[in-house]
Each structure stands twice: as C-alpha cells, then as structure tokens.
C-alpha cells in the first residue's frame, strides 16, 4: 500500500481552509508586563505546590458513575443496522474470503468480520495464504445451507426459524467447533425448550456431550429415563447401541437407578402412610377412652348417638376393634388377629403416653411395667416404631384437622 504524500496540494489547501475558519485575535504584550505576569504565575505555582488539591465533590462523582453505568448498560441495535449487516453478507460486497463447502459451493465473506466473530476462524485465516487478495478456507462434512446460516449469524446474529429448526444440530456443532458462544446458547435454548423430541433425543444427547452442553445433556437423560420404552425403540437408539455401547450402558444404569429411586420413594411413602394410620389410631383410641364417641365410651360419659359425625377418621375402625376385643373369647396374643392388633395398639399407646397414672386407656400402666421385662431386641424395635410415629405426627400434625396429645 502506497504511503501518503504529506506535501500534496490537497493537504495544504485543507490546512489553509482550517486556519481561515478560525477567527483568532492576538494582542501584543510588552516584555515587562509579561515578566511581571510570569513572576506572579511562579509565585502562584509555588503556593499551589505547598497546598494539596481538595478532593472532588462526592455528588459529582456519584452522578458521573451513575451516568457511566447507564451508558454501559444501554445497548440498542435497530433493525436497520441488522439489515445492513445482513445485506453486506448476502451481497458479498468487497469480500476477501471464500468459504468452500462440501459440495464445492463458495460463500463469500469478509476477513475482518470472521476474525472478530470467531477466534478459531481467525487462526485459520491467519495461517492461510492470500491468492490475488482472496483467502480460501474449507468447512467439510456439513451441508451448504447449514454453513450459510452459520456465516450469516456471524454477521447479523439473525436467522430464519425454519432454517434454524432444520439445521439446529449442525449449527450446534459449528458453534462449538468455531467458538461462537452466542449461537451455541441459541441452539441449546431452542433444543431445551421447543425442539427436543423422542426421535432426536439420542442424537442431541451425543452432540451435547461432545459439545460441552451439560444442562442439555442432563435434560436429554431425564427425558430418556422418563420415556425409556418409547425411546429405546427409535432408530437413534439402535444406531447409538451399535456405535456407542458405553453410552448405552450408561443410560441403562441411569434407568435402573431411577427405577430404584422411584421404588424407594414409593416405599417411604407407604411407610409414612402406615405410621400416619397408627398415629390416627392412637388419637381415635384416646378419644374413645377419654371423651367417648357416638355409641362407645366411658361409663361416666353421655354418648351422642350414631347419627353424630366424628372428626377422627380412624374412630369407626377403632370402635369396631374395641367391640370385638371386649367380646372375643380367645383374646390372647397370637390367637386372634384382630385382638393381636388391639394388643399392639394398647402397647404402642402405653409407650407414647407420658402420664400412665392418669390415663384412661385400658392396660396403659400394665404395659409400662411390662417394658422393664422385655429383651433389648424387642425394646429396640418398639423404640424405632415409636420414633417413626412421632416423626410422622410432627410432620403431618399441622395439616390435620385436629391434634391431640397423648396424656
């Protein structure tokens, strides 16, 4: 490139016009006056050096900082600007880079734009040699249309939704390979929110692992685990099974682990239901023995009759169990299943009761004395059961219609 000639008439004429446009008036000052002013300035400078400068006012600093923050956050790119960059790409005006695709087609581009948009492309372009002012790079293995959408995004960050949906997997690979985080985020978000299906989830999972997209990979695994029967019959699963058996093993382990967690969760839910039923039975038993309910209760209480509703959900079952227990001729532990349940409820109540001397539940004090004669193994079992029931009581107590204390 030729250097600029500083003695050209164009430069001289521009300088003259620039000087002429300024109306500067210079007054002549005598030498004595100038010396006096110089001495005064020296004295002022000397004094100013001894006195430190005051700090700036806080209000001005805060205002300036606030304005700077506002300016740094404000960013608006109008549609006309995007259309301008889009037009620059489509028309290839003064293009100095030719991108050669798999089928031999050429996409014209600009060296400066590609270098700014992608550090990887910049490295390739710097290593390439220019021929007649044009640099050539090749992007193999991908269709022309996908590369065209990719290069267009580098210019204007624009894309057509139909093209993006068609080539989203190709664009995910390109954005990762050529280090374009903005495009990669667009592809990942669209796949996560809209375009992930049972047919493409296996392909998306493999690309997500290779393209360092952990969130997308996790979403794919969750989808596979949730609908494993359907996805395992797809063509993508069959191809993955042959090409990547380690990934298949990993997914199968995830499915087994998810099933185990589900079974464990259901088991805990069922256990909590049992402990909740025991807690409700304890409440109903104490209610019947202390206050009386409808047609059963203490002798000193006036019963309300069978037409009155009871707020305790387990009261009806406990009432039936108490009536059977009072009239059963066997009534020994192990002889009758219903009586055995009643014995267990009475003992459980006794272990949870804090005032056996004042308690009106039958045999409460008897079981308290019997505890001292039990083996350590049986005592540990009962303590575990009591702790589980108490924990369920504390967890579900606020949500129940009525709470009572075992007293």
Q: What angle do CA 82, 83, 86 make, to 5 degrees?
A: 90
| 272 shares a domain with 171 | no
Rounded to an integer, what distance in angstroms lies between the CA atom of residue 200 and that of residue 236? 7
Asked which of 186, 218, 253 is the last residue of a domain, the reply is 186
Host domain of residue 372: 265-399
pTM of the model: 0.59
Is residue 211 in a domain? no
Is residue 98 in a domain? yes
| 381 shares a domain with 292 | yes
Asked which of 148, 165, 186 is the last residue of a domain, the reply is 186
| 384 shares a domain with 271 | yes
pLDDT in tens, the chain (407 residues): 444 333 433 333 433 333 443 333 333 434 444 445 434 444 444 444 556 666 666 554 445 455 555 444 566 778 888 899 999 999 999 999 999 999 999 999 999 999 999 999 999 999 998 999 999 999 999 999 999 999 999 999 999 999 999 999 999 999 999 999 999 999 999 999 999 999 999 999 999 999 999 999 999 999 999 999 999 999 999 999 999 999 999 999 999 999 999 899 999 888 888 888 888 888 888 888 877 776 676 666 666 666 567 777 788 788 888 888 878 877 665 668 888 888 888 888 888 888 877 788 888 888 888 887 878 888 888 888 888 888 877 876 544 444 444 43
Is residue 116 in a domain? yes
Is residue 60 in a domain? no
Asked which of 186, 206, 233 is the last residue of a domain, the reply is 186
Smallest Cα–Cα separation from 113: which of 132, 139, 131, 92? 92
Count of Cβ atoms closer than 10 Å to residue 204 Cβ? 27
Check: CB of residue 136 under 8 Å from CB of residue 98: yes
* Cα-based torsion angle of the residue sequence 246, 249, 250, 252 in order, rounded to the nearest 10 degrees: 160
Smallest Cα–Cα separation from 383: which of 347, 341, 358, 342? 347
């Amino acid at each position: 490139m030729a250097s600029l000639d500083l003695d050209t008439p164009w430069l001289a004429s521009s300088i003259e016009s620039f000087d002429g446009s300024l109306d500067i008036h210079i007054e002549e000052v005598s030498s004595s006056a100038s010396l006096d002013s110089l001495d005064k300035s020296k004295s002022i400078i000397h004094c100013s050096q001894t006195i430190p400068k005051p700090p700036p006012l806080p209000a001005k600093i805060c205002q300036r900082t606030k304005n700077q923050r506002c300016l740094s956050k404000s960013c608006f790119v109008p549609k006309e600007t995007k259309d301008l960059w889009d037009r620059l790409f489509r028309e290839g005006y003064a293009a100095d880079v030719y991108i050669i695709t798999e089928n031999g087609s050429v996409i014209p581009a600009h060296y400066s734009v590609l270098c700014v948009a992608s550090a990887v492309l910049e490295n390739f372009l710097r290593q390439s040699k220019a021929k007649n002012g044009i640099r050539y790079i090749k992007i193999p293995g991908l269709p022309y249309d996908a590369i065209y959408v990719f290069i267009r995004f580098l210019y204007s960050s624009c894309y057509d939704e139909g093209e993006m949906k068609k080539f989203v997997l190709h664009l995910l690979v390109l954005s990762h390979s050529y280090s374009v985080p903005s495009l990669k985020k667009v592809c990942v978000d669209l796949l996560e929110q809209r375009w992930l299906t049972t047919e493409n989830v296996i392909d998306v999972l493999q690309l997500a692992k290779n393209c360092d997209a952990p969130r997308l990979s996790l979403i794919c695994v969750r989808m596979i685990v949730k609908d494993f029967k359907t996805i395992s019959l797809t063509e993508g699963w069959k191809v993955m099974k042959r090409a990547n058996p380690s990934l298949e093993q990993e997914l199968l382990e995830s499915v087994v682990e998810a099933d185990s967690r589900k079974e464990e969760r259901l088991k805990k839910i069922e256990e909590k239901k049992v402990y909740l039923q025991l807690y409700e039975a304890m409440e109903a038993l104490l209610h019947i023995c202390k206050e009386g309910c409808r047609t059963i209760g203490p002798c000193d209480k006036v019963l309300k009759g069978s037409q009155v509703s009871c707020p305790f959900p387990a009261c009806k079952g406990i009432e039936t169990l108490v009536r059977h227990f009072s009239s059963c001729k066997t009534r020994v532990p192990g002889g009758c299943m219903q009586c055995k349940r009643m014995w267990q409820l009475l003992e459980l109540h006794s272990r949870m009761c804090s005032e056996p001397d004042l308690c009106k539940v039958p045999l409460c004090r008897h079981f308290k004395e019997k505890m001292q004669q039990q083996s350590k193994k049986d005592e540990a079992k009962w303590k575990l059961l009591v702790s589980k029931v108490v924990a369920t009581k504390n967890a579900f107590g606020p949500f129940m219609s009525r709470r009572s204390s075992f007293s």
